[in-house]
Amino acid sequence: MEQFKVQDRRALVKDLLIGVVIAFLSIPLSMGYAQVAGLPPCYGLYGSLFPVLAYSLLTSSPRIVFAVDAAPAALVATLLPELGVTPGSADAPAAMAVITCLAGLWLTLFWLLGGGRFSKFVSESVLGGCVSGIATVVILTQFPRLFGGSVSRGRAPVLLAHLFRELSGFHALSFALGFVTVVVILAGRRQTKVSMSVVVMILAIALNAVFHFDRYGVALVGNTPAGLPSPVVPDWSCLPRHAEALIIDSLAVALVIAAETLVSTGEFARRHGEQIDKQRELLAYAAGNLAAALFGSSPVIGSLSRSNRANKLGVGSQWMGVSMFATMGLFLLFGTPLLSYLPVPVLTGIVIGSLGTILEFDLAGRLWKMDRANFLIFAAAFAAEMLGLAEGVLVGVVLSFASFTMRTSAQPSYFLGCMEGHEGFFDLEKTPHARPIQQTVLYQFNGPLFFATIDDFERDLWAAIRPDTTVVVVTGVLSVDSFAAERLLHFYRNLCGKGISFYLAGHAAAVNEQFIEYGAEELIHEGVVRQRLTQALNAGGLTPPYPLEWSSERPLKRRGNAAVEAFLWAYGAKAEARLNHLTRQLAENVLTGKEIEFDKFNPAELELIGEYWNSEDEKEWDGLLEMYLDTEPEERKKRKEAFLALSLGMTEHRMLLERQLLRGGNQSILWEFLLFRKEREAAFREEHPETGPFLEEIREQYMSLVYQEAPEMSDLLRAFAESPEEARKKILTE
């Protein structure tokens, strides 16, 4: 019973008090969601009693609140009319017991089949779209209650049409009470840890007791039965007549309960460094829903809004759930008469305000900026929920699997080569200075090899194989299925027929076990599989240093080095933009003399910074000239060549920075940088006239270097030497 462990008595008392707070928060929310589902409000309270205790006793999570909530209520909202039952009638609980029981049985089946591992297929974008769509539909359902109207059920277009029709009976006082409730709850969400829903409910009851809002046309919740609930006998007679709707919709409810609660439970566990047992969680969900069915409640789920509130208060164990159970039981015994004073618009405002806290439109905004594919999945799941609740959930599940399959079948794969003077293997496309090994194809395949990826795998390799190819090595395969294993075997035999050696290297031992299981052990017996890439190359007759190809399309460049390659590898397509930003920081560092905050750079950036000019180089430059001036004239002549060599190395760094400023479009700062250097040199000449010839030689060497390696800078620098203002105009216009 790990979920009940506490550090000390103080922590126990804290969790018990949090349970009391969450129980009071659940009173208006559960009643509101019961009405959404089509039940009398009291059945929301029943769903927050024994189901909470059942979940608390079985769960592996110490932090989740399990109760009546928006998603299941919205999913079953259209079922009662479809079964021929009037929402809110005396027959509704018996029919709802059937729906909730079926959802509990589906969850039991998920548990028996080990369904916990399938939660990883429900992505954040799908879940966010589904939850936001459900919350929006419930808000549309409840909104007419804010101004004294009646609720409707159905899809979003139907709800919007009903909303506009109900505006004809707009009741100002009702709307004022409901609107203020929503504003207070949303505002208080960030301002205080106190549950504003509880505060508003108590305040509304007190104010109504004094001012009697019902005398002015405001609807009240009315009498709520006192006492603990009695078991409800399910009306199974509806199952044969509506088997398809009941089975499909209850499956959709079970899927939402499992997916949403497992994901939120996992998120809370990660935040606190805890572990959960997904299978045990499914059993807890099943038990909670079977307990809810016993008392005619709508399906229950892990409540994200109430779990967030409990965690903000610092909950640490399921003693919270036990306390919720006891508090709700006492309230049902002694507190329900107070609910007769609660205005319906306030109850509705509490529901809408709570739903506003779980809308994930900020996630949609982030996905739009960063990941358009996942944004489209979010939008599709949201639209599906708006147009048909049960169908929307199933669409979300299909999208999850489709997203997983598409991403798995589109793993980034690339060809490898080597760089002269450096160990290891580099992506040929991302590394400009890497070269292929002669007569060899090195292919990095990052992902599982299965029916959806084997075609691309073979296509890439056949396209890379040339008439002179003698060795093909593949690395990075994560797993294979039977179809891929058979195709690999045929591919190997085809290459053997062409006199080409084929190797699979660098994969886990589990892949070899899959080859054996799927009848492709020939790949092991023939020595095709190798533990490391270098072993495979050695088996193909290649040893370091590997002979590299050369072509006019990929000429060797002087400045290819590991620092640049590491930077390109780290940032990929965004490397140029990041390099421009880094260059500007370095240039401003030189101009202002501020120290670079090296702790803000990652290793790839730190290594690259060493290639460019900065304020430390400025100090070293001054020190170099001072050393030159301090030597005797005869000694100065002897050391002149060494000083020139040192200064040339430093000016190479300076040239790199200037060139990158020009390429990166930082023209304005480039001009400031050039002017800064010119003014510093003029001041130094004035103070030390004897350094003139030395500085001229350095300038000539520098200009020669620029002409050779950065011709686009040469004309600009010469123009600047003649007329800085003309050079400035040229920089800013070009």
What is the three-class DSSP state of 466?
Answer: coil
Nearest-CA neighbor of 260 among 101, 72, 406, 26? 72
What are the angstrom distances between the C-alpha of 695 and each of 635, 648, 651, 713, 723? 18, 11, 12, 20, 19
Residue ranges of domains in the chain? 2-140+245-344+360-399, 413-539, 562-733
| Token reading at 713 | 């800078």
What pLDDT score was predicted for residue 66?
A: 95
SS3 561: coil
- Chain centroid to Cα 23, Å, comes to 32
Under 8 Å between Cβ of 316 and 75: no
What's the CATH class of domain 413-539? alpha beta
Best CA proximity match to 378, nearest among 711, 124, 644 = 124
Q: Tell me the C-alpha distance between 31 and 221, whole Å.
A: 10
Res 555: pLDDT: 42
- Between strands 426-427 and 440-449, the pairing is unpaired
Give this prediction's pTM. 0.66
Question: Which is nearest to 696 in space by CA: 626, 647, 634?
Answer: 647
Cα atoms found within 13 Å of the Cα of residue 123, Cβ hemisphere only: 24
The reported pLDDT for the residue numbered 688 is: 75
Residue 730's pLDDT is 61
Residue 38 in tokens: 């089509």
Task: Report the pLDDT value the prediction gives residue 554, as an integer from 0 to 100.
Answer: 45
Q: Which two tokens stand for residue 206?
A: 């007190």
For the chain of 734 residues, list the mean pLDDT of each consecutive stretch of 10: 90 95 93 90 94 96 93 84 88 95 96 78 77 87 90 83 91 94 84 78 92 93 91 92 90 88 88 88 96 96 90 93 96 92 92 84 87 83 77 67 67 85 83 87 91 88 94 94 92 94 93 92 92 93 88 44 69 78 82 75 77 72 69 70 70 77 76 78 77 74 73 71 66 57
The set of residues, in sequence order, having a beta carbon less than 8 Å from that of 335 and lying 6+ positions away, is none
d(CA 431, CA 566): 9
- 390: exposed, middle or buried (Cβ count in 10 Å: 0-12, 13-18, 19+): buried
Closest CA to 650 of 688, 611, 681, 677: 611
How far is Cα 428 from Cα 426, in angstroms, rounded to an integer? 6
DSSP codes of every residue in 273-335: T----HHHHHHHHHHHHHHHHHTTPPPEEE-HHHHHHHHHTT--STHHHHHHHHHHHHHHHHT
Number of residues that this document lists for the chain: 734
